[in-house]
Amino acid sequence: MRKGKENLNMECGGNEKFYWGVSPKCEEQRVLVTLGIGKDSKAIRLMNKKFKQLNSYGTSAYGFKHEDYDHFYNYAIGINDTGLQTVYDNNGEIMELKDVSVSSFFKNIIKQNIIDMLWINIDGGEFEYWSYFSKKGQFERLGIIVCQFNLEVERNDGNTFSKLISNLLESETYIFLRSEIKENPKQLYAYFLNIKHPYCIRKYLR
């Protein structure tokens, strides 16, 4: 990418995931949320090293800890705004299963009205991302601003990705800046930047 933008190309679990982003123009707290960590560790470690004021949140549907994130949750996203949070004891045994909607997870658990960077991976569950970024969509109704997001799209999921692009064109909030296709398994990685909200413009574009 051009000067002023960071190109994060991480190797995760023997395979490469692609993350891109624009560096902030000022030294302020930066919020990163990863939906579906998987076995990724290099990406978040690089972000922690590069940005000293990073406040990070990560989710995983699997029962392992991820100490590189400031806040970590065993949480799996389902369809129709549903989600399941698993609470483990110190021995790794399941203590409790909680039904937590995606809206409630963002609003009442993460509790961040501005997310500088959102990484959406397949490991995160059935996240209906196109409905969150649409005009008058879930994020807008929740009062949550997302400045940048990276998206991992599974093969044969072109219809839902097309929904996202159509919604973004309608809202005129994000521009589609970068993509990469990976083989075996075939997946698309895409990057979007918010060019409409004043906070995002001030922090990343001016």
| pLDDT tens digits along 49-69 | 888 899 999 998 876 678 899
Residue 21 lies in a domain: no
Region 72-81: what's the mean pLDDT? Answer: 85
Closest to 34 measured CA to CA, from 66, 81, 79:
66
- Residue 104's pLDDT is what? 92
Q: What is the largest CA-CA distance in the chain?
A: 49
Residue 123 lies in a domain: yes
Q: Count the helix, strand and coil residues of the chain and give each as a percent rounded to the nearest 5.
A: 25, 40, 35
6, pLDDT greater than 50: no
Region 99-110: what's the mean pLDDT? Answer: 92
Please name the amino acid found at residue 169: L
C-alpha distances in angstroms, 144 versus 29, 71, 79, 126, 197?
16, 18, 20, 20, 11
7, pLDDT greater than 80: no
> pTM score, two decimals?
0.87
Closest to 125 measured CA to CA, from 92, 90, 100:
100
pLDDT, one tens digit per residue, over 133-179 is: 888 889 999 999 999 999 988 877 778 888 888 888 888 899 998 88
Residue 2 lies in a domain: no
**How many domains does the structure of the chain reveal?**
1
Q: Which domain holds residue 81?
A: 26-204
Residue 97 lies in a domain: yes
Residue 189 lies in a domain: yes
CATH at 192: 3.40.50
Tokens coding 140 = 């807008």
Closest to 26 measured CA to CA, from 176, 188, 200, 196:
200
1, pLDDT greater than 50: no
pLDDT, one tens digit per residue, over 166-194 is: 888 888 899 998 888 887 667 888 999 99
Residue 4 lies in a domain: no
pLDDT, one tens digit per residue, over 17-40 is: 778 998 888 878 899 999 988 776
3, pLDDT greater than 70: no
Q: Where residue 79 falls among pLDDT bands split at 50, 70, 90?
A: confident
Q: Where residue 89 falls among pLDDT bands split at 50, 70, 90?
A: confident
105, pLDDT greater than 90: yes
Residue 11 lies in a domain: no
Residue 18 lies in a domain: no
